[in-house]
Every structure is written in C-alpha cells, then in structure tokens.
Chain A
Amino acid sequence: MIGMKCSQRGVNVRDCPDYRLTFSSYFPTLKLHMVEDVMITDTSVTQTICTHNLGYIPAFWVFTDRMYPVDMGLGHYRLSSPGTSQYLAVDNNNLIWRSGAGAGSLGVRVHIFALDITKPYRSDSEKSSISDKKGGTDEYGIQVIKNSPPLQDKDYSLNSKNRYPLIHEVGQAVNESAVVVKHNLGYAPMYFVWAKVHADGRYQSISMSSGAVATANELTLRYTIADPGVSSYIIFNDPIMS
C-alpha cells in the first residue's frame, strides 16, 4: 500500500496510534469550505444563514453566542444547544434558520465542511489502540503556511504541532430509528450525527437535540431519532477518553 502519513510533533510516526497522526493517506480530514460569523436579527422567521452551493449535504457545526435557555451574553461561543440546533438545518445549497423560535437575535459561527455526509466511507484502520508513548522528537515536523507571515493557528493549512480529527467512518442509516454502529475502534470515539427529522427534509444536528440522544462507548455509536428516517454520522479516529 502506497501512501503517506505524518505524526504529531514529538510522536514517532512508525508506531503511533492513528489519533496521533497529523495526517495519513488512509484517512480523510474535515476541510473547511467556509466559516462565517452571522448575526440573526430576528429568530422568529425562516431565513438563509449562509449559501454554500456544494451541491450535496455537507457536515456542519454551528456555534452560538447565547446559552439557551440561559443568556450568558455576547462573546461566549458554544456548540449550538438543543434549543437552537432544531432550527438550524442544511440542504444541498444553504444553511437555514427555521421559523418557530421566539423573536430575538442570535450570533452564530457557521462551519461548513467539504464532506458529503450522505456518501459512506470507511477507512482501513491501522492502529486504533490508545497510547501516549513518546519516541519522536520535537525538533521535526511539517508546516504548510496559508497566510504569510503566520501569526495565528488559522494561518497554517497544516501544522504538526496540532491535532486534526481524522475520519474513521462516514455512514448513513435509512429507515432506522434506533441506530447502532459498530466502529471496532476499541475506544469511545469523537462523533457527530445529523438527521432528517423535520418535514422540510433538511438535515439538522441531532447529537444533543431533543429526542435524539447519541452516545458512544468503546464498541458502538448509538442514537435514536423520533421517527424512522434518514441520518448520517461521522466517527473520528480520536478517543474521547483514554
């Protein structure tokens, strides 16, 4: 098998577990198609938050500046809560805010990834064990600069001082309400889940939404959605806990 991989700084690439890699040609990474900070001035009406025009259903994250149901004030970013994620939904071209919420304003930080969550992928996992063993050196690594001179983390396309979530599996479940995914990683992995659970047919995050609790352990990812429908998930080569 021909390929290339690079470990994090200070980790020996020859024997490190997958999650200690900065990249590997065995695993895709999340690539940011767009990041936008948007202020929704009236949360009571349906509106397009951003247009991605990818032509497929992309993975997305939305962070908000309010702590529903507790308003902690501006400048506090958190992953969209159960109270807000039900209104945030994506289709082939847009991320929208659905009507139904009370009137008010909300700041959102949108991440749209160049990854079709309806297109299954499973990697050939190499070393999914957990290990903190060192053995490399801090003196070497790889950096690819996006903006010069690099001043912040965002100015690097690639930097082996950082970790990047590597994708173990992208999957889809059709006409299932109780979904069980055997990932065989041997540890509870980082994950995200989206589903079509609304009449408009768009995908929303359900990882923590009402009626759709997702959980992971060392064997499986499990989640339920209210009605048998269509859902997609991403499982990463990244142990939540070692």
Chain B
Amino acid sequence: MKKIQIDAKEMISLMMLFELGTSMMSIPGRDAGKDAWIAILIATGLGALLFLCYGSLHRHFPDLLMTQYCKVLLGKTAGSVLAFLYIVFFLYGGARDLRDTGILIADRTLQHTPLTIVCVLMIGLVMYVMHLGIEVAGRTGLMLLFLLLLLGCATNIMILLSGIVHMSNIFPIAQHGWQPIWEVVYSQALMLPYGEMVTFAMILPTLKKSYRANGVGITAVLLGGAILSFVTLSNVVVLGEDVFKRATYPLLSMISKVEISDFVDRVDVIGVMTVIIFDFFKIFIFYYAAVKAAEDVLRVSYHKLILPFGLIMLVSCVLMTQGYQEHLATGEFVLKWMFPVFAVFFPFLLLMVSWLKKIRNKKRKGYAS
C-alpha cells in the first residue's frame, strides 16, 4: 500500500485552519477586552513552546502515532488506557466544534431549523472527506486557506474603506494592568487554539520525512496566531471594547458594519462562510485523529470506524447542552481543567519518560561496551 504523505505546505494550512476554526468566531481571551490581542500574542508564543513538546515527541518516534508511542513509553496497559482517553478527548473536541458551528448557523441565521439537521449536513460533509482521506483534505485545505486569506484581505480593505476604523479604541493599552491579561492567557487563549494542537501528534507521522515537524508546526502556530491577533485587533478597533465584549460573534458584527457608499454592503455572508470553512477543518482533524487512534487501539479498520464515530459525534453534539450559555460555561470549565491535562500534562509526562529512557539506554550501552 502506498504510504499516505502530506506536504509541508498542506500541513501548515491544515494547522492554521485548525487554529483559526472556532477561535476566530469566539475570540479566546475576550474577557481581557481591548487587550485581548496582546493576550493572544502572548499565548501564541507559549503555544509555540507547547508545540515544541509535541514536535520533539514526534522526533523521538517519527513513524509512530501518539497512541502508539504511549504504549511504547508507558507499557501496554497504561499506554492503552491513555490512548483510549485520547480517543474520547478527540471525539469530545470534534463534537464541541460541531456544536459551535451548529449554534452559529442554527441560532443565528436558521432559527427555526432543527439543530440536528444543520449538524447532520455538516458531519455528513466531514464524513465524506474522511472517506476520501487526509491527502485530499490537505490539498483542499491549502486551496481553501488561500481563498480565505484572500477574502480576509479583501474584507480588511473594505473595512478600511468604510471609514469605521477608530484606532483610539485600543488605547490606553493594558489599562487595568497586566494581571487580567495573564489570567485570560491561562484560562482561555492558550488552550483554545494551541493546546488543542496536541491533535496533530496523531497526524504528524503523515508529514513527508524531508520536512522537520517542529519547523512546520511553529511556522503554522506563529502565522495563525498573528492572524488571530490581527482579527481581534480589528474587531476592537471597529466595534469598540464594549460592543466587542458583548457581541456573541464579534467577527460577524464587525463585518456587518462594512458599507462603502451604498455600493458595497451586506457582505456578512463572507464572515459566515469563513467561519464555517475553518470549523469544517477543525472538526475534520479531531475526527481524523479519533479514528486514527481508535484504529490503533481497537484494531478496527479506518473505513469501518468512520460511520460509528461520526454518529457518536453527531449525537453527542446534539445532546451536549441545552443552549449557548451552558455550552460556553462548559467550554470554560473544560478549557481550564480538562484541556491542560491532555494538552500539557500528558505530553510532558510522555516527553519526560522518553528522555529518561534515552538516558538509561545510553548508560546501558556504556556498560555493555
């Protein structure tokens, strides 16, 4: 069988799509008000460090998936349990993002359409891409990211031309001190796009061997972070701190303000489309990671897992919460208590173990010779 391989460009675009999906619409660190963009920049720096951890694990085991080296490092039983936990984590992440998209569409634009229908359509599409495989997703991702960046540039130009940019909205910087900024870095901004990048530990082995995973990952993290920070900044500059904090989707509120002398207006559809495409890839990547992990742990073939896992995600997405507020509250809890465990604690544990093993192996070799 031909080995599945992804180009560096495609990997970077998948990572950026993953990073910007959902975080673009809900803006992590929004509680810091007009300083959210600084919080995001700081989180991006820390996120790059975090990725170094995943990347170096990958360097130790270039051909193994995360679930596979769990078993190598922690032994068969403990490794399998951890791998199983990660399946649940990936599925939960995917279901959450599916719900995020569902909420955006069902609660905002199609208010009388059942959420289930919206989610069925979305997951159906993701399942189709799952069926085609990650190489197709990579190529599509590259193309769509390019399109979205173009649209993003166009939107920014339109915003500038509409004359709705008020730079004074971001001053004074850090008015309430740096304390609230650091708080949101920890509680929201770090985990939402960057902690979730642990998912790529399941995908990095498909990267062509001629590229270095760390370089690719950090490029993507920094680029994505810069874009996210810029989007946040432009939200504040256009909407002002008060509306920015209170808007359910600041990005959409911002875009709805575009109006160039009766000629270009009502371009909201660009915003909705952008958000949906980003979310699509995020759901896909969680889904793919879950299926890959399960393929390894449960020893069932990839294609047989697509349907059941899709159904699990669909059902849990629909039953997850009653409404938006509950969804957000759960999200906050999860970002604070669950994500750090999966995104920071376990990977660092694995990294420590792999270092210890390496040192021990060296010593042994030393004795033998």
> Do A and B associate with each other?
no
> Which chain A residues have a beta carbon within 8 Å of chain B's beta carbons?
none
